[in-house]
Chain A
Amino acid sequence: MNEKLYQDIPASAFEFVPEEGRMHDKKLETKPVGYFKDAMIRFSRNKGSVVAAFIILFLVLYAIFIPMFCENNYTRALTDTTYLNYTKLPPKVEGLGWLGMDGTTTETVNAATYNAYRGIAVETGLDPVVEIYRENYQDPTASKKSYFYDLKVDTYYKMGMMYMTLSPDEFEKIQAWQDETGIQVIYPAITDSKQTDANIWYEADRKGAPKLDKQGNLQDIYRTTTKDDTTYHSLRIAADNDPEKPLAYARVAGTSSNKSYIVRVSKYNYFQYRYGFEPAFVFGTNARGQDIFTRLAAGARFSFIFAICISAINLFIGAIYGAIEGYYGGAIDLVMERVSDVLSGVPFMVVTTLFQLHFANKVGVIPSLLFAFVLTGWIGMASRVRMQFYRFKGQEYILAARTLGASDWRLMFKHIFPNSLGTIITGSVLVIPGVIFSESSLTYLGIVNLESSTTTSVGTMLAMGKDYLATDPYIILFPALFISLLEISFNLFGNGLRDAFNPSLRGAE
């Protein structure tokens, strides 16, 4: 019954849909979005990746700007070795004491050391002992009868004194500074000229244990001088109260025309004299007295620049190699694949070591390390580009362009190549944490030595800190934290990039 209806439909049954003019498509509601903009939108929807991107940005800014703005106390002048005196100080930041960063450590000391701390407190007024947990107890397992104290000490005050040899010029300058600021830097000399421990200004036996007087106080052995001695005319300590017999603040040495003064200075106050502020290192100092905060930033800078260079070079070589392989195919592809097969079979350690052994003396450590990374690094990028080329080689628009007379190179890089930009960007971004990781492993093992007074890398800092893991864990904590944060963020960031550029792979991780 229905068939009859469809065979014979009168023309009047039809009606034009638009009443006026021609038919157009409906106007597009949204604007056209380019490839990268689209990827960026997808990327920003993934919250984890955005957070990771911000963290990376923060770390990179840290690496770039900190060395510019903060004083690094180890490169004021290459000949300035003051920093060597400030080794192994724990981190100290105003207001972050609750995190444990108040410059204190807990330790167990014997009676002699405890009295030495008391000595520092009495003389300088800066008491190293912050809190006493247990005092005057005896350790039953110790062989001799000795008394121990469990203390919380402020390591910055514990530094105490040191001996310095000053020229008359410097002697005057320090005195002028003391008058100006009222901070005592130079402390009186002692009569015992054979005493090398600058912290001992009191009567003590050969082992350094003090001989207390009847009330249990320390007895000083300050050297006195005559009233006419005007070499020292600055602040005097409280114990110096006899105008007839003023204390001598320096031991004179050298010839009469070329005098030098051997003085005892307080390390804490001397730091203020040299640098103008109280010592408080944000991340502490390492075993050689270098501030970890700035050194980590300098090392991060080096690592970042190194990794970015390698990524760029690998990208360049790999893209061209993969493009040629993928485009021409056939015999050329076979041969090039074999070559990259052989190169990829060599273990990375072996390559690096061979390069180090051969070239380290001639070209320098860093270029030879660069060569080692570059030698096998481009293989991954080349295989990815090759795969992309295989996918797009047979498309019709390529055939059309070729018919129109496009040359090989033009086809490769103007038509096929942009399809693979997504994978290329993701790949080259993900190379960076791999390079930093490999480089830090190599420096840790000692195969490559990047350490010098001006340059360092994150791996070197880890290697230097491992000996002090038990006593001063913060030396290794901060570089390790930095590298872990970097790796995690780059992983999330790379995942986000991959999902943004390649939505078909989403969820495959």
Chain B
Amino acid sequence: MERGYGMVKYVFKRILLMLMVFLIIISMCFVLVKLLPDKPAEQFGKDMALIEMRREALGYNKPLFEQYLIFVQKSLIGGDWGVSESLYVGQDVWGKFMEKMPATVAVNLYTMVFAVPLGLIFGIYAALRKNKWQDQVISTAVILFVSVPSYVYAFLVQYFLCFKLKWFPFQVEAGYDFFSWKMFVSMVPAIMSLGFGTVAGLTRYTRAELTEVLTSDFLLLARTKGLSKAQTTVRHAMRNAMVPIFPMILGEFVGIMGGSLIIEQIFGIPGVGPLYVSSITAAQPDYNFFLLLSAFYTLIGLASGIIVDISYGFIDPRIRMGSKK
């Protein structure tokens, strides 16, 4: 299989597969949502006939299949996800979504910028000093941080750093300027809560991979050839260890957005997560938001899987060739 051609084919196949899966999932979601009883409640002082006429005009009473076609045509391809019903009445769903996106992206980006280097450094350090006291300390800390749920951190951080020591504000500053210092300081508790788990996971993984590489034969050969410890570690061990780690980091970058729901809720970050939660838990659930956000989260999950696979293929030629048994 030629190198360039095979790679393109592989990527193409994966993307096509992902799109197919995504289509199936979103169609199922759509059908399930449309099956829910969605009659607007009787409200005092509102003209029911007018509401009915509006719904008729917007197409709520058309048969299911026709609604599905409209959905595919307008929303999936066109990008128009309709108008919000109960959360932000009358406003464009897509517009509101895009308004909230930067907050989520900012928090997650900051978290990754801090968590990834820290995780790598701790993992490498622990692997280099394997079984000495530094390694034991780091390993114990890793187990602690991986097990405790993220919202427990959030509470601890809030209680000790925000309430007792008053270093940071309880909630994130209002406004949308994400690169100012004040905003950053107020985001620190959220970044810490999100970051602890990521740092711990990355440390654990890096340490395991690097240990495995450090005990392999070719490294022994390199040492006997006369390379110094630093040379072997940096030029040979690190490169090999990064092979499984790098795709995981890329995957995390994309996938972490799906997991920050709770943190956004606790710290009052005006992001996509609380939008999702309130679209479900409101008295009159807002299904347009729900559909859009479900599609968003599904896409993120699938995309992170694909990115991991494809980058694995780029980095490790063995995967590209495929292992035929």
Contacts and interface: CB of A to CB of B under 8 A. Distances in A.
A339 to B, nearest CB: 10
B149 interface: yes
Interface string A470-509: 1001001000100110011011100000000000000111
Interface in A434-462: 437, 440-441, 444-447, 462
B98 interface: no
Contacts of B281: 445-447
B143 A488 contact: yes
Contacts of B67: none
A345 B148 contact: no
Contacts of A110: none
A353 interface: yes
A491 B297 contact: no
B48 interface: no
A347 B258 contact: yes
Nearest to B33: A354
B261 A488 contact: no
A346 B285 CA distance: 20
B21 A345 contact: yes
Contacts of A347: 258, 294, 297-298, 301
Given A341-B21, A470-B163, A445 B36 contact: no
B265 A357 contact: no
Contact of A345 (B158, B159, B285, B302): B302
A43 to B, nearest CB: 17
Contacts of A356: 280
B152 interface: yes
A462 B156 CA distance: 13
B208 A508 contact: yes
B24 A342 contact: yes
B56 interface: no
Contacts of B32: 354, 358
A342 B207 contact: no
B29 interface: yes
Nearest to B276: A349
Interface in A159-214: none
A447 B277 contact: yes
Contact of A487 (B28, B149, B285): B149
Interface in B151-166: 151-152, 155-156, 158-159, 163
A469 interface: yes
Contacts of B35: 358
Contacts of A78: none
Interface in B17-60: 21-22, 24-25, 28-29, 32-33, 35-36
A415 interface: no
Nearest to B285: A357
A487 B153 CA distance: 13
A466 interface: yes
Interface in B250-265: 258, 261-262, 265
Contacts of A483: 149, 152
A347 B265 CA distance: 18
B301 A345 contact: yes
Nearest to B215: A507
Contacts of A491: 143, 146-147
Contacts of A484: 147-149, 152
Given A347-B301, A466-B155, A488-B144, A441 B290 contact: no
Contacts of A445: 261-262, 265, 277, 281
A346 B22 CA distance: 9
B22 A345 contact: yes
Nearest to B143: A491
A491 B33 CA distance: 37
Interface residues on A, range: 35 or more
A350 interface: yes
Interface in A116-159: none
Contact of A476 (B155, B280, B302): B155
Given A345-B298, A347-B301, A445-B277, A488 B148 contact: yes
A507 B276 contact: no
Given A358-B32, A476-B155, A509-B208, A349 B261 contact: yes
B212 interface: yes
Given A346-B25, A469-B159, A444 B151 contact: yes
Contacts of B22: 345
B149 A437 contact: yes
Nearest to A490: B147
Interface in A299-351: 341-342, 345-347, 349-350
A476 B302 CA distance: 35
A206 B151 CA distance: 45
Interface string B256-299: 00100110011000000000110011000100001000100110
A353 to B, nearest CB: 5
B211 interface: yes
A447 B273 CA distance: 12
Interface in B296-318: 297-298, 301-302
A441 B149 contact: yes
A474 to B, nearest CB: 11
A466 B159 CA distance: 11
Contacts of A488: 143-144, 147-148
Residue of A347, A446, A483 with highest tally of chain B CB at under 10 A = A347
A491 B145 CA distance: 11
Contacts of A433: 147
Contact of B158 (A354, A469, A507): A469
Contacts of A466: 155, 266
A363 to B, nearest CB: 15
Contacts of A345: 21-22, 25, 298, 301-302
Contacts of B143: 488, 491-492
A349 B274 CA distance: 13
A441 B152 contact: no
Nearest to B295: A350
B155 A469 contact: yes
Nearest to B170: A470
Contacts of B301: 345, 347
A435 to B, nearest CB: 13
A342 B25 CA distance: 7
Contacts of A480: 152, 155-156
Contacts of B261: 349, 441, 445
A483 B204 CA distance: 22
Interface of B: 21-22, 24-25, 28-29, 32-33, 35-36, 139, 143-144, 146-149, 151-152, 155-156, 158-159, 163, 204, 207-208, 211-212, 258, 261-262, 265-266, 276-277, 280-281, 285, 290, 294, 297-298, 301-302
Given A444-B262, A480-B155, A508-B208, 15 more contacts: A349-B261, A349-B276, A354-B32, A437-B149, A444-B151, A445-B261, A446-B281, A466-B266, A473-B159, A484-B147, A487-B148, A491-B146, A507-B208, A509-B204, A509-B208
23 contacts: A342-B21, A342-B24, A345-B25, A345-B301, A347-B294, A347-B297, A350-B298, A356-B280, A433-B147, A441-B261, A444-B262, A445-B261, A445-B277, A446-B277, A447-B277, A447-B280, A462-B151, A480-B152, A484-B148, A484-B152, A491-B147, A508-B212, A509-B208
Q: Which 7 A-B pairs have the closest CB atoms?
A: A487-B147, A488-B147, A347-B297, A350-B294, A484-B148, A491-B147, A480-B152
Interface of A: 341-342, 345-347, 349-350, 353-354, 356-358, 433, 437, 440-441, 444-447, 462, 466, 469-470, 473, 476, 480, 483-484, 487-488, 490-492, 507-509
